[in-house]
Amino acid sequence: MDFIITPPEMLEQQPVQLPLSKSESNRQLIIAALTPGAKLPERVADCDDTDALLSGLQASPNATVNVGAAGTAMRFLTAYFASRPGCDITLDGSERMRQRPIAPLVNALRSLGADIEYAGAEGFPPLRIRGRMLEGGSVELDASVSSQFVSALLMIGPTMQNGLTLRLTGRIISTPYIRMTLEMMQQAGVSSSFNEPIGEITVGHAPYQPTLPEVEADWSAASYWFEIAAISAEPVTLRGLFRKSLQGDSAVGNFFAVTGLSQELLPNGDLQLQLTPDAGSQLNVDFSNNPDLAQTMAVTCCLLSLPFRFSGLESLRIKETDRIAALQMELSKLGFITDASEPGTLNWLGARFDPGETIEPIETYQDHRMAMAFAPAALFFPGLRINNAQVVSKSYPQFWNHLRAIGFTIEEPAEPAADA
């Protein structure tokens, strides 16, 4: 399904009810599944990623589980099934998922006593997993590939006979997601220690308690509304966010400060975004801790003519697509010339050209964040076409309806006339 997007003359001023956090939801589901006597929570994110994880947790112990494009589900379920005695699971995914590396997690689990085989290419899904009580102990893990490998191991740590001591090697990325995992484990009754300077995390053998709190709205989803507020110069009000958040992407307001965007917590708990005259100059940001915000910030800065140098983007190469290459290609359709010659970086120093009156459709590469990061560009390029727009269902199924609610016109292109 492709959409053509036309912006309103002025945005409708009504609050946007953000979707629930899929990061919190996915962790809550795994912890609940590991909690003796607990039921799986019902109030979780309504999106493809969380649906895939929930479906896997509800599968029979001798099933083939296909998570599609849900990377979090693949990593969390790999560890979960490995720790469940009696499971004999084949865990598979989409064609792209079969290209996303999982060897660091598999190697760590094997060293802790797991029985996992590759059912296809070495180092990649699909996996054959025979669950057992894991011995636990000490293990090293390269934390420069994905923090989800770390979180997957941490959450099953309390079920291991000897607990878990995890020594992280390499450059640790997305540290806020690791802290989120540990905090949610703490809320469920499992204590841990994180010696961040030396990269060592210790989790003792202990049962989880069914005490997890309410899931917050998703700050990553909020970032697209920050973008709309910044480039439209009109107020936007967001609903469902907490004053104190577990989510690392709650730092989105700090990144958008360079655009002059301010945020105010209203008495009813809503968050209002308002543009001020305080825009900055060139932006230098390390996205190691917040890689999911990089696409939104790149599009925003280009549209606002704010040069930038983004680093810490190494993990974007192995996401739903190669997000750096995808950003370069699609930004070029809007006339922006970026550079990614240095590994893990994306730079725009202001180079641009006239893309002409007819803008090529924006491709999404089966990546939800590409669709949502580029959709607000219709404010500058009315009639912008987003191909395969349904990919937003991975994290934010109501995104297009929410755009309609504030005045955007979202239409499918007319089909070409049939031959007589």
Could you tell me if 165 and 49 lie in one domain?
Answer: yes
Could you tell me if 379 and 278 lie in one domain?
Answer: yes
**Catalytic: 292?**
yes
Give every CB contact of residue 197 below 8 A, 6+ residues apart in sequence. Answer: none
Query: Quick check: is 417 in a domain?
Result: no
Query: Quick check: is 248 in a domain?
Result: yes
Last-in-domain residue among 176, 203, 230: 203
> Model's pTM, two decimal places?
0.91
Could you tell me if 123 and 222 lie in one domain?
Answer: no
- Residue-level pLDDT at 213: 87
Could you tell me if 222 and 145 lie in one domain?
Answer: no
Query: Quick check: is 210 in a domain?
Result: no
Within 10 angstroms of residue 351's Cβ, the number of other Cβ atoms is 12
- Residue-level pLDDT at 282: 67
Query: Quick check: is 184 in a domain?
Result: yes
Annotated catalytic residue: which of 2, 292, 322, 354?
292
Query: Quick check: is 416 in a domain?
Result: no
Tell me the CA end-to-end span of the chain in Å, nearest whole number: 25
Query: Quick check: is 144 in a domain?
Result: yes
Buried b / exposed e over 271-301, threshold 16 CB at 10 Å, is bbbebeeeeeeebebebbbbbbbbbbbbbbb
Could you tell me if 35 and 138 lie in one domain?
Answer: yes
Which tokens belong to 112?
């802790």
- Residue-level pLDDT at 417: 43
Could you tell me if 130 and 190 lie in one domain?
Answer: yes
State how beta strands 200-203 and 236-239 pair: unpaired
- Residue-level pLDDT at 318: 80
Could you tell me if 46 and 133 lie in one domain?
Answer: yes
Buried b / exposed e over 109-127, threshold 16 CB at 10 Å, is beebbbebeeeeeeebbbb
pLDDT in tens, 253-280: 999 999 999 999 999 999 999 998 876 6
- Rounded Cα distance between 114 and 135, Å, is 9
With H, G, I as helix, E, B as strand and everything else as coil, classify residue 43: coil
- Rounded Cα distance between 362 and 343, Å, is 25
- Residue-level pLDDT at 320: 82
Could you tell me if 142 and 290 lie in one domain?
Answer: no
DSSP state of 14: -
Could you tell me if 268 and 397 lie in one domain?
Answer: yes
Could you tell me if 58 and 112 lie in one domain?
Answer: yes
- Residue-level pLDDT at 387: 98
Last-in-domain residue among 203, 234, 262: 203
Beta bridge partners of 140: 167
Nearest to 275 by CA among 313, 323, 236, 320: 236
Which tokens belong to 5?
């997007």
Could you tell me if 365 and 337 lie in one domain?
Answer: yes
Query: Quick check: is 67 in a domain?
Result: yes
- Rounded Cα distance between 290 and 63, Å, is 35
Give the sheet arrangement for strand 3-6, strand by strand: 384-386, 3-6, 409-411
- Rounded Cα distance between 232 and 405, Å, is 16
- Residue-level pLDDT at 212: 83
Q: How many distinct structural domains can be found in the chain? A: 2
Which tokens belong to 93?
């995914």
Place of tokens 């900055």: 280
The kind and range of the H/E element at 195 are strand 192-195
The parent domain of residue 396 ranges over: 3-19+216-411
Query: Quick check: is 406 in a domain?
Result: yes
Last-in-domain residue among 157, 180, 203: 203
- Residue-level pLDDT at 416: 53
Cα-flanking dihedrals φ and ψ of residue 309, to 5°? -130, 110
Could you tell me if 55 and 15 lie in one domain?
Answer: no
Which residue stretches of the chain have pLDDT < 70?
Answer: 279-282, 415-420
Place of tokens 């995390």: 201
Q: Which CATH number covers residue 340?
A: 3.65.10.10
